[in-house]
Chains A and B, each alone.
Chain A
Amino acid sequence: EPEVTQTPSHQVTQMGQEVILRCVPISNHLYFYWYRQILGQKVEFLVSFYNNEISEKSEIFDDQFSVERPDGSNFTLKIRSTKLEDSAMYFCASTQLIFGTSGANVLTFGAGSRLTVL
């Protein structure tokens, strides 16, 4: 079964350092997302991406965050200068069709990248 692959599975970094989290979505998927989950809290939307541009972003997704699809297969989330409060599990997700256009459409999540900022 096709999978969304995320790397690294766990990254530890010092406050102020730049971090890049990588995702390889399913090959025929067109819509890409980043979500995050701070330990013990609910999953929160960060950003959605379609046709090589951001289609929506949350208030969390400030100037310290950026996303890119550099080579047609990878989808990356960059945090420019990490803060302690960026420590969380970051989930990449992808879907073939935008919701509502097909009942069979499935949003597929990666296993997550755990980021620890010290």
Chain B
Amino acid sequence: KNEVEQSPQNLTAQEGEFITINCSYSVGISALHWLQQHPGGGIVSLFMLSSGKKKHGRLIATINIQEKHSSLHITASHPRDSAVYICAGQGGTDKLIFGTGTRLQVFP
């Protein structure tokens, strides 16, 4: 069964801190998506990765295929980064299997 596990479940940080959220996934998942869900519920796609590393602004996502592990990093965190960050795996089809999310709060 395809599964996606995230850690930590909750994360608090001071503004400016470097943040890492981790995601492990099972055999059968060929690509990993990172998404952001805001308090109102809306979901925004951040990255889709099947290998290597991607960067967008202060966000960096990496994936290690051998270890079946991905990380999302936020550099110079800011209170507006406060949200739930979700990793979701994609197997042989186009459906996503979501993790439980990491609730991030960044305090000024």
A binding-site residues for B, Cβ under 8 Å: 31, 33, 35, 37, 42-45, 48, 55-56, 58, 89, 91, 93, 95, 98-100, 103, 105-109, 111-112, 114
Report whether over half of chain A's contact residues are helix, strand or loop; otherwise say mixed: strand
A42-B99 contact in complex given A105-B48, A112-B42, C-beta closer than 8 Å? yes
Count class of interface residues, chain B: 20 to 34
* Beta-carbon contact of A58 and B95 below 8 Å: yes
Give residues 50-108 of B contacting A (CB, 8 Å).
50, 86, 88, 90, 93-101
* Beta-carbon contact of A45 and B95 below 8 Å: yes
**In the complex, which residues of chain A have a beta carbon less than 8 angstroms from the beta carbon of B33?**
107
A100-B45 contact in complex given A43-B86, A56-B94, C-beta closer than 8 Å? no
Shortest beta-carbon distance from A102 to chain B in Å:
10
B39 close to A (CB within 8 Å): no
* Beta-carbon contact of A42 and B43 below 8 Å: no
A109-B42 contact in complex given A55-B94, A100-B30, C-beta closer than 8 Å? yes
A100-B31 contact in complex given A42-B99, A42-B101, C-beta closer than 8 Å? yes
A91-B43 contact in complex given A99-B31, A107-B33, C-beta closer than 8 Å? yes
Alpha-carbon gap, A105 to B31, bound state (A): 13
**In the complex, which residues of chain B have a beta carbon less than 8 angstroms from the beta carbon of A93?**
43
**In the complex, which residues of chain B have a beta carbon less than 8 angstroms from the beta carbon of A89?**
41
* Beta-carbon contact of B41 and A111 below 8 Å: yes
